[in-house]
Structure 1
């Protein structure tokens, strides 16, 4: 869980630039920024999992699939409801997004620990 949390901090905050952060939430042109962002998550998760629990290499791809789904859902909400930094729901949407990502890490950690 700690490694997946560190992975999330690195990929979501350290390595995500404004092109990805803003681009993935647009009505059009969102696909490449979103894919790039989620591939960074995969690129950070896969080596960590290979080092700690190599038989669970596929968990990095599950994390990728869930991350791209959660971020696209956030993008759809943001784009269609006009949720930007001035919108009253902005921090709620960010909070739900981050909670879902952390629950993903928690669930994947439980899966690996139980197997």
Structure 2
């Protein structure tokens, strides 16, 4: 990988992956997914469904723009499911609900990690 990254390509991929994240995390995520993936039990199917939405949207966008990076959608899926499971584990273990003082911190860390993932994947795609 090059030590320099074309800024235009980096910004472009960041916009694409941010768009993907907004659509998959907020527009297409149902309450069943959002609430279910953070439960003590029964979290696996809602989490998988949510992350498969991310995979589908990422794959569609990447295939439309640069099909050679199809595997990046799989990497994004693997990282997304790991981050969301970690958040769900914390939420269920420490009973973090909307009223809990850690609620917004947990949401903020989750979103920051997703955006850092997008940044890292964007650097990779822009540099290659």
TM beyond 0.5 = yes
Aligned residues: 115
Q: Which has the higher contact order (CA 8 A, sep 6+)?
A: 2
- The residue correspondences of 1:22-101 to structure 2 (distance < 5 A) are 22-101=35-114
Unaligned runs of 5+ residues in structure 1 are: none
Unaligned runs of 5+ residues in structure 2 are: 1-13
> Alignment partner of 1:82: what SS?
coil
Which of the two has higher C-alpha Rg? 2
Could you list the runs of 4 or more consecutive aligned residues of structure 1 that deviate by over 6 angstroms after TM superposition?
none
What RMSD, in angstroms, separates the aligned Cα atoms of the two structures?
0.4
Stretch moving more, 47-56 or 93-102 = 47-56
TM-score w.r.t. length of structure 2: 0.89
- Asked if residue 21 in structure 1 is aligned to residue 21 in structure 2, the reply is no
